[in-house]
């Protein structure tokens, strides 16, 4: 792809066109070349947008932003009296978060880059990272940092894109109805991919049909923009959407997929082989990431890259560079300990995948599970935790250690089945137990939802290798 030398800026006319905006000292406003919600990172020629968060109100740092070189600051109209003495360009709006999104849509309209948006119940961050890495061999890429994927994160991802970029890979997340429609309308994706529909965020999205309704808004936005939707036909709910959209590419392990993957493994060391079949050609890939589900995420990323114009050679180069996202099935071998750090987050599907993976690798070693609660499951929380005990993988587990109110139900279900399991009423008690345990010649999986802070147990496990 040919590199663009285009520079993007927000002009005075763009601000005048912003819904509901008023400008103080417009004669002093210079073209804006970057947007930030952090007064410490705003640069000369930048716009600082003051947003009230859970801990801090961005309006507190308005003058600091100007001192750091901001060309203009966006504030709530109700806050203007505090700053009326400033002879600086101030943009007054009723809601700075909404106006951040409106302005991001303007920035998006000026990008020449192909925008690829990814969502799903599981694997969206890994798929996003993998797709960005693969596409980087073809041109300049900007991608969502970590999982900064909400109503503020998606606009910030777009603002981070430069006029010289060829691709923007944006992750879109949700836990309430309306978030995906909002961010998708801002991103206006050329390519949209949904990894799967699972039991995530059921506290607010109610059930899988609710999840599908929310997530499919990304497809709707792409179609409205004349874009392509990339459908996982292994997912029965997503497969039903194939005929709804005019431009579709399918992927999966099922026969008939436009991009078909054959996944062999994982082997005793967790590695897999992924064979991709596309347009009567094949590519055999060895993803340097662990687990069957990560290999499937690589398949999804490859499908997104192929949809964006990549060839099989680009897939080979890109996949060789892949790394597992931090705290997502990261394997560390320390002496005789194999530690599986999957502490970033958890829902029923990813928990199942993690347990099955831990039970399958290094068959000669003892296996321990250190599990914390899965959040945002609403009324289904008890059942979803209990259901995990049905996994055949537990037959290969030496001991399951749980913490959290919901994980108590898994513990009780395992004990009833005669499995070796211990539940701890507090993080401190679990930490004490781990600190006194010997994890020589063992595989240990640590996993739970973000709020459980399961990463705090990792040092104690590592210390259990004498």
**Contact criterion met (CB below 8 Å) for 358 and 382:** no
Question: End-to-end CA distance of the chain, in Å?
Answer: 54
Measured CA to CA, the distance from residue 259 to residue 169 in angstroms comes to 20
Do you know the residue count of the chain?
A: 466
What are residue 403's DSSP bridge partners?
A: 372, 424
Q: Which of 47, 168, 54, 58 is nearest to 110 (CA)?
A: 168
Encoding tokens for residue 126? 């890994």
Q: Which of 189, 178, 118, 154 is nearest to 37 (CA)?
A: 154
Q: Which residues contact 437 (CB under 8 A, 6 or more apart)?
A: 461, 464
Alpha-carbon distances of 301 from 293, 310, 315, 341, rounded to whole Å:
12, 11, 9, 22
Chunked into runs of 10 residues, the chain (466 residues) has average pLDDT values of: 72 96 96 96 96 92 96 97 96 98 98 97 93 95 92 97 97 89 97 88 68 93 97 97 97 97 93 96 94 94 97 94 87 94 93 95 96 93 97 97 98 98 98 95 97 96 81
Query: Coil, helix or strand for 320?
Result: coil
Element (H, E) at 313: helix 312-319
Q: Which residues contact 139 (CB under 8 A, 6 or more apart)?
A: 1, 3, 165, 166, 167
CA-based torsion, 314, 319, 321, 325: positive or negative: positive
With a threshold of 0.85, does the pTM exceed it?
yes
Query: Coil, helix or strand for 279?
Result: coil
Residue 53: predicted pLDDT: 87
Q: Which residues contact 236 (CB under 8 A, 6 or more apart)?
A: none
Measured CA to CA, the distance from residue 237 to residue 233 in angstroms comes to 8
Measured CA to CA, the distance from residue 389 to residue 386 in angstroms comes to 6
Residue 323: predicted pLDDT: 86
Measured CA to CA, the distance from residue 73 to residue 170 in angstroms comes to 26
Measured CA to CA, the distance from residue 38 to residue 340 in angstroms comes to 35
Alpha-carbon distances of 42 from 33, 39, 49, 353, rounded to whole Å:
10, 5, 10, 41
Alpha-carbon distances of 405 from 56, 144, 279, 402, 445, rounded to whole Å:
31, 33, 50, 9, 19
What are residue 252's DSSP bridge partners?
A: 260
């Amino acid at each position: 792809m040919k590199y663009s030398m285009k520079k993007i800026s927000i002009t005075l006319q763009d601000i005048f066109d912003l819904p509901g905006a008023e400008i103080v000292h417009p004669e002093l406003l210079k073209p804006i070349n970057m947007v930030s919600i952090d007064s410490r990172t705003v640069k000369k020629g930048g716009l600082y947008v003051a947003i009230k968060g859970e801990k801090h109100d961005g309006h507190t740092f308005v003058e600091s932003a100007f001192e750091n070189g901001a060309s203009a600051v966006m504030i709530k109209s109700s806050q203007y009296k505090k700053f009326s003495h400033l002879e600086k360009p101030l943009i007054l709006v009723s809601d700075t978060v909404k106006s951040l999104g409106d302005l991001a849509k303007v920035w998006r309209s000026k990008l020449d880059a192909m925008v690829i948006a990814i969502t799903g119940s599981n694997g969206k961050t890994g798929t996003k990272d993998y797709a960005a890495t693969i596409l980087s061999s073809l041109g300049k890429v900007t991608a969502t940092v970590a999982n900064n994927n909400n109503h503020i994160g998606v606009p910030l991802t777009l603002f981070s894109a430069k006029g010289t970029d060829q691709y923007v890979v944006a992750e879109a997340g949700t836990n309430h109805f309306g978030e995906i429609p909002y961010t998708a309308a801002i991103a206006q994706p050329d390519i949209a991919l949904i990894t799967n529909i699972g039991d995530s965020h059921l506290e607010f999205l109610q059930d899988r049909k609710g999840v599908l309704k929310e997530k499919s808004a990304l497809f709707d936005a792409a179609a409205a923009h004349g874009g392509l939707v990339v459908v996982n036909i292994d997912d029965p709910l997503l497969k039903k959407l194939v005929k709804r959209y005019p431009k579709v590419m399918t992927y999966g392990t099922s026969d008939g997929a436009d991009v078909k993957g054959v996944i062999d493994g994982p082997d005793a060391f967790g590695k897999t082989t992924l064979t991709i079949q596309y347009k009567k050609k094949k590519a055999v890939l060895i993803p340097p990431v662990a687990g069957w589900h990560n290999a499937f995420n690589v398949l999804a990323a490859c499908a997104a890259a192929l949809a964006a114009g990549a060839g099989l050679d680009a897939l080979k180069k890109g996949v060789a560079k892949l790394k597992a996202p931090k705290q997502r099935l990261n394997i560390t071998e320390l002496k005789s300990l194999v530690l599986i750090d999957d502490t970033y987050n958890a829902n029923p599907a990813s928990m199942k995948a993690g347990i099955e993976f831990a039970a399958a690798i290094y068959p000669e070693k003892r296996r321990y599970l250190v599990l914390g609660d899965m959040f945002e499951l609403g009324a289904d929380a008890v059942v979803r935790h209990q259901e995990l005990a049905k996994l055949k993988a537990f037959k290969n587990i030496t001991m399951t250690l749980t913490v959290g109110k919901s994980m108590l139900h898994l513990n009780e279900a395992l004990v009833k089945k005669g499995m070796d399991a211990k539940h701890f009423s507090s993080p401190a008690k679990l930490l004490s137990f781990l600190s006194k345990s010997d994890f020589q010649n063992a595989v240990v999986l640590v996993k739970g939802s973000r709020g459980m802070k399961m990463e705090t147990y990792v040092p104690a496990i590592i210390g259990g290798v004498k």
